[in-house]
Amino acid sequence: MKLIRVIDRGLTTLVTVLLVLSFAIMLVLAVAQVLLREIIHTNILWGDMAARHLVIWVGFFGAYMAGRAGRHFHVGFLSRFLGPRVQSWLSVVSDLFAAAVCGYLVAASWTFVTVGLDPHAVLFLGIRQTAAAMIVPAGFILMGLQFFLRSVQGMARSVKPGPPADAHAGETH
């Protein structure tokens, strides 16, 4: 369990740093574009394209953080009618299902990046279209791994003797 917490914290730190950097670059680009257009009637040729791609990166990093904090999309109405032990196992099954869906989306997005995009197309500054789009399978890998780790933690809590702990106890929000 300690190893899982170390992996989880490491991934969260990495994603947090990438989220902040991506958001900061996106914000600086957007402000620069507005100021350049208004003041000297020009722009950064690749600025809008870069900002659009950074929105996708920020979205995936934000989705990872939301999933880690338990603030991702889920159907929680049923858990109000169940006991704590059943809620705990339902959370494990839900996290495993989410990990499986992410696994499917990794495969689909990998196919899109490798087959659906021109590997030689350059977006801007020598960055290939496929490199910029790699956030999609990478984002689903991160989210799937996070859901899987959370399901393992939930299983460990659920099999402990005594009253079950909160389904997401010990998580940092």
For 36, the 3-state DSSP assignment is: helix
Is position 166 within any domain? Answer: no
> Tell me, what amino acid is at 27?
L
Nearest alpha carbon to residue 103 among 69, 52, 145 = 145
User: Considering the domain boundaries, does residue 150 fall inside one?
Assistant: yes
Residue 4 backbone dihedrals phi, psi, to 5 degrees: -65, -40
Identify whether the C-beta of residue 95 lies closer than 8 Å to the C-beta of residue 103.
Answer: no
Distance CA(30)–CA(36), nearest Å, equals 10
Residue 163 lies inside a defined structural domain of this protein:
no
**Residue position matching structure tokens 């900061």:** 24
Check residue 112 and report its DSSP letter. I
Residuewise pLDDT in 10s, the chain (173 residues): 788 889 889 999 999 999 999 999 999 999 999 999 999 999 999 999 999 999 999 999 999 998 887 766 665 666 677 666 777 788 888 889 999 999 999 999 999 999 999 999 999 999 999 999 999 999 999 999 999 988 888 888 877 766 555 545 445 44
Is residue 91 in a domain?
Answer: yes
How far apart, in whole angstroms, are the C-alpha atoms of residue 64 and residue 62? 5
Domain enclosing residue 106, as ranges:
2-72+81-158
- Domains held by the chain: number: 1
Residue 170 located in a structural domain: no
Helix axes 135-158, 84-111, angle to 10 degrees: 160
Q: Is residue 68 in a domain?
A: yes
Residue 42 forms part of a structural domain: yes
SS3 58: helix
Q: Is residue 58 part of a domain?
A: yes
